[in-house]
Structure 1
Amino acid sequence: MKEVVLDTETTGLSVENGHRIVEIGCIELDNQIITDKRFHCYLNPQRKVSDEAKKVHGYSDEFLADKKKFSEIVENFLKFIEDKILIIHNAQFDLSHLNNELKILGKKPIDKKNVIDTLELAREKFPGSQISLDALCKRFRIDNSRRTYHTALIDCELLSKVYINLIDQKEPRLAFLENIGIDNLKKSNSDYCKRIIKPSNEELKNHEIYLKKSQKKHYF
């Protein structure tokens, strides 16, 4: 099963106030195992970054000025997430911004049915507890020391580990059975169990000496 852990950073909290996306990060999972496929970009939001948002992610207007616009990356982004389940922490926030960007371009919105919200999973699993990404990292003993700012790819890496813990899949599923076949695995195990390794004459002699020494120690 292919999934995509996704995170965005924005110029501010609300699309109603005209805020836009400044960064998108995506990491692909295959049976909960991180693959080498990633999608990442910084974006020119065509508006100023709010002071509050800058404190969160650290991206200045000057840094974003020469970056691509959402319209320039949208096709590659949609292709990357196509037919995959999206894993998002606090999906309502990210989806509102992503669907706003898609709406501006006349594109179809991302369907909520294709999204797993880890915030909701955490709320159900740990009612009344803190369920921010940092709090969940602490609960599951995941090292988040690199998270000095909220940056999309680092947050995706952390969220992928949190997600695996939230669904009680402490270790990624092993997919090697599909490659070698169950019958072949049984055969190899069976052949291995039938192998008998006989000790050499020297090993038998050393073992006999060891037993004699052990008996002397036992009696005295």
Structure 2
Amino acid sequence: MREIVFDTETTGFTFGDDRMVEIGCVELVNRCETGRTFHAYFHPERTMPPGAFAIHGLSDVFLSDKPRFHAVADELIAFIGDAPLIAHNASFDFGFLNGELGRCGRDAVCTTRMIDTLAIAKQRHPGAKLSLDALCSRYGIDRSHRVVHGALLDAQLLAQVYVELRGGRQIGLSLVSDLIADTVMANTTTPRTVRPPRQFAASDAELAAHAAFMTKVKNPIWGAAASG
């Protein structure tokens, strides 16, 4: 199962006067990160309000040479495909994503694909603090490098939180699935050989050597147990 965890940074709270300035996406397959990501900054075609700058640190000067959303839209659409989209307070991020898609003539992402980690967290931890920082602290996820908000970093942290909200990392204790392996192989520039698992068994000579060694052990505890 392929899912995309994503986060956005914006100039404010409501699409229209406000615009998206950054998006970060992380691919999960069977709720394991594959290493594939999508990340882009956008020129918002307006100035950055001081309040928004204080949150993410993206200045007018930094964004001045970044592409407009429409220039990257097709690449983003190709990356997310038809996968469910996971975000924290997802209606906010969906509002800006679909606003930008509509503004450049692309189809909106259907909200039936929306998974809101905030809603899941409210069910799992009623009455608790449910910010991304608070959930990282609850689940022991290192966020020491999160000085300001950043879309890709926050999506990577949220991917770990999402796995915990869905049951924890024990779901990944089995060997990496063929689907994940194929995804990683398809997106690496270094050819890799996938080898079948090795079977380890002692040879007849090794078994004979072991038996001979065991006869030299004086008063073995397993012998006393057998005689008792």
TM-score by length of 2: 0.80
Q: Which residue of 2 aligns with 1:37?
A: 36
> What secondary structure sits across from 1:37 in the alignment?
strand
> What secondary structure sits across from 1:198 in the alignment?
helix
Which runs of structure 2 are paired with 1:146-165 in the superposition (5 Å)?
Answer: 146-165=145-164
Q: What is the CA distance between 1:156 and its match in structure 2?
A: 1.1
What is the number of residues matched between the two proteins?
202
Q: What is the CA distance between 1:199 and its match in structure 2?
A: 4.7
Structure 1 position 2 matched with structure 2 position 7: no
The one of 198, 209, 226 equivalent to 1:200 is 209
Q: Which amino acid aligns with 1:198?
A: L
> What secondary structure sits across from 2:207 in the alignment?
coil
Q: What is the CA distance between 1:150 and its match in structure 2?
A: 0.6
Identity of aligned residues (%): 38
Change (3 A) 1:103 1:213: closer
Q: What is the CA distance between 1:130 and its match in structure 2?
A: 0.5
Which structure is larger by alpha-carbon Rg, 1 or 2?
1
User: Within 2, Cα distance between the matches of 1:151 and 1:170?
Assistant: 24
* Unmatched tracts of structure 2, length 5 or more: 180-196, 222-228
Q: Which runs of 4+ in 1 moved over 4 A?
A: 175-179, 191-197, 207-210
User: Within 1, Cα distance between the matches of 2:124 and 2:220?
Assistant: 59
Q: What is the CA distance between 1:208 and its match in structure 2?
A: 5.2
User: Within 1, Cα distance between the matches of 2:34 and 2:171?
Assistant: 12
Which runs of structure 2 are paired with 1:1-220 in the superposition (5 Å)?
Answer: 1-16=1-16, 18-173=17-172, 174=174, 176=176, 197-200=206-209, 204-205=212-213, 207=214, 210-211=217-218
Cα offsets for 1:107-165 (capped at 9, x unmatched) = 22111110111010001110111111000000000001111111011111111110000
User: Within 1, Cα distance between the matches of 2:177 and 2:11?
Assistant: 46
Q: Which residue of 2 aligns with 1:183?
A: none
Change (3 A) 1:141 1:209: same
Change (3 A) 1:37 1:178: closer
* Unmatched tracts of structure 1, length 5 or more: 180-187, 215-220
Q: What is the CA distance between 1:106 and its match in structure 2?
A: 2.5
User: Within 2, Cα distance between the matches of 1:177 and 1:61?
Assistant: 44
Q: Which amino acid aligns with 1:12?
A: G
User: Within 1, Cα distance between the matches of 2:9 and 2:130?
Assistant: 19
User: Within 2, Cα distance between the matches of 1:155 and 1:141?
Assistant: 15
Change (3 A) 1:177 1:25: closer
Change (3 A) 1:171 1:157: farther
User: Within 2, Cα distance between the matches of 1:195 and 1:119?
Assistant: 56
Q: Which amino acid aligns with 1:113?
A: T
Equivalent residues of 1:103, 1:109 under 8 A apart: yes
User: Within 1, Cα distance between the matches of 2:88 and 2:82?
Assistant: 19
Q: CA RMSD in A?
A: 2.6
User: Within 2, Cα distance between the matches of 1:154 and 1:118?
Assistant: 16
